[in-house]
Amino acid sequence: MTIIIKNKETLLFDDFKFKCAVGKKGLTKNKKEGDFKTPIGIFELGDIYYRPDKVQKPVSKIKTKIIRKNMGWCDDPNSKHYNKLIKIKKKFQGSFEKLFRNDSKYDLLILIKYNYAKIIKNKGSAIFLHLTQNYLPTKGCIAIKKKDFLILIKLINKNTKIKIT
């Protein structure tokens, strides 16, 4: 089964239809780092990351990982760690998306494997399916409500893909 992002505000999976938010500047076939656009295509899903201090371990057939205070996702095209999970250290040179946040956006997230297997610098990084409380546009990710996220992750498995059209 495939998760389908049908338009800028609809996520479909099987018989379920959820409201969602996408990048502030819409969808694109030509994603670039920092363009506030969500990439178009069919992508594999990665692991589910969660904050155990805020949510219970999710029930899913997909592997789960705990988000720790020192975790980030490198979004610096000049770094050898571009579009990879990193441990944030004081010496780390470059920019990154902090996964342990004060807001609730990343209390639960799934990696969307965009620009992932063969990474191309400046092609975009840190594309996630994460939480929203208000459906405000994202920086390029896809965001849904927590209750919908919890339903979705019970239905998907490691073979589920996401199709953004």
Q: Which sequence spans correspond to the domains of the chain?
A: 2-164
Residue with tokens 């495939």: 2
Give the DSSP per-residue string, 84-99.
Answer: SEEE--TT--S-EEES
β-pairing, 10-13 with 2-7? antiparallel
Strands 108-112 and 41-50: antiparallel
C-alpha angle with apex 18: 85 to 109, nearest 5 degrees?
Answer: 15
Identify the CATH class of 2-164: mainly beta
Looking at residue 89, its pLDDT comes to 85
Mean pLDDT of 115-132: 97
Which parts of the chain fold into alpha helices (H)? 146-155
Write down how long the chain is.
165
pLDDT score at 92: 76
Q: How far is Cα 79 from Cα 96, in angstroms, rounded to an integer?
A: 10
The reported pLDDT for the residue numbered 90 is: 78
pLDDT value at position 9?
Answer: 95
Whether 105 and 12 have beta carbons less than 8 Å apart is answered as: no
pLDDT greater than 90 at residue 21: yes
Q: 96-123 in b/e burial notation, b at 16+ Cβ within 10 A?
A: bbebbeeeebbbbbbbbebbeeeeeeeb
pLDDT of residue 115: 98
> What is the rounded average pLDDT of the residues 158-164?
97
d(CA 139, CA 35): 8
Split at pLDDT 50, 70, 90, the class of 7 is confident
Whole-angstrom distance, CA of residue 54 vs CA of residue 8 = 28
pLDDT at position 110 is: 98
Give the per-residue pLDDT at 43. 98
Q: Is residue 59 pLDDT above 90, yes or no?
A: yes
Residue 18 pLDDT greater than 90, yes or no: yes
On the question of pLDDT at 86 being above 80, the answer is: yes
pLDDT mean across residues, the chain: 96
The pLDDT assigned to 91 comes to 76
